[in-house]
């Protein structure tokens, strides 16, 4: 695992320097992990969802390749950005679906223990996105922690590394953000 993490970081740095070969080798190395991340994000979606994990990964890949202003630093940063892109793709997809259905059933996302320990709840993905936008307006770091932890599946340590803060701060921010989002989505 440590070797693969180091290899991912090395390829990201080479990609930042303009190596398309490194970008292609990186995608081969991380594809399975991106697919697991996509499957995790799709798990709570409505039945009959037209977007599959492979399509989500492919769309995210196309958007990742277009990231020309990102200075890639490490694996955690890469997966954080990939998670943000996947979230945006899912929200855009949910909004299109909602517009087509004109008030049809909301696209659901399971927030399981992330917001309410011990309880599994479903929330509208568009409502979650709007709540995250409101949270970001109040405290951008809290919203970033949610994106990294919940959508990106990053550990506390990886999140701290990406954001550039301590693990204690991430733990505190994660608890605060979960409580805030739980109140916002259940009121």
Q: How confident is the model at residue 20 (pLDDT cuts 50, 70, 90)?
A: confident
Q: What is the DSSP letter of 102?
A: T
Structural domain tally of the chain? 1
pLDDT digits over 73-119, tens only? 888 888 888 888 888 888 888 788 776 665 555 544 444 434 433 33
Q: How confident is the model at residue 120 (pLDDT cuts 50, 70, 90)?
A: very low
Structure tokens at 172: 């505190």
Nearest-CA neighbor of 133 among 88, 99, 187, 96? 88
Phi then psi dihedrals of residue 122, to 5 deg: -110, 140
pLDDT at 70 over 90: no
Parent domain of 117: 2-186
User: Residue 90 in contact with residue 98, Cβ under 8 Å?
Assistant: no
What is the structure's pLDDT at 116? 39
């Amino acid at each position: 695992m440590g070797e693969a993490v180091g290899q991912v970081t090395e390829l990201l740095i080479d990609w930042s320097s303009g190596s398309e070969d490194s970008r292609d080798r990186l995608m081969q190395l991380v594809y399975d992990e991106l697919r697991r991340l996509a499957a995790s994000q799709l798990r709570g979606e409505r039945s009959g969802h037209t977007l599959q994990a492979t399509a989500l990964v492919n769309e995210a890949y196309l958007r990742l390749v277009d990231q020309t202003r990102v200075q890639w630093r490490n694996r955690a940063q890469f997966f954080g950005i990939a998670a943000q892109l996947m979230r945006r793709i899912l929200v855009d997809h949910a909004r299109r679906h909602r517009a087509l259905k004109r008030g049809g059933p909301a696209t659901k996302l399971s927030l399981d223990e992330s917001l309410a320990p011990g309880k599994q709840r479903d929330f509208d993905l568009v409502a979650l996105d709007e709540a995250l936008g409101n949270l970001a307006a109040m405290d951008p770091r809290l919203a970033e922690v949610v994106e990294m932890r919940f959508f990106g599946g990053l550990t506390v340590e990886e999140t701290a590394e990406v954001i550039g803060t301590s693990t204690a701060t991430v733990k505190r921010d994660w608890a605060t953000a979960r409580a805030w989002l739980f109140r916002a989505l259940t009121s």
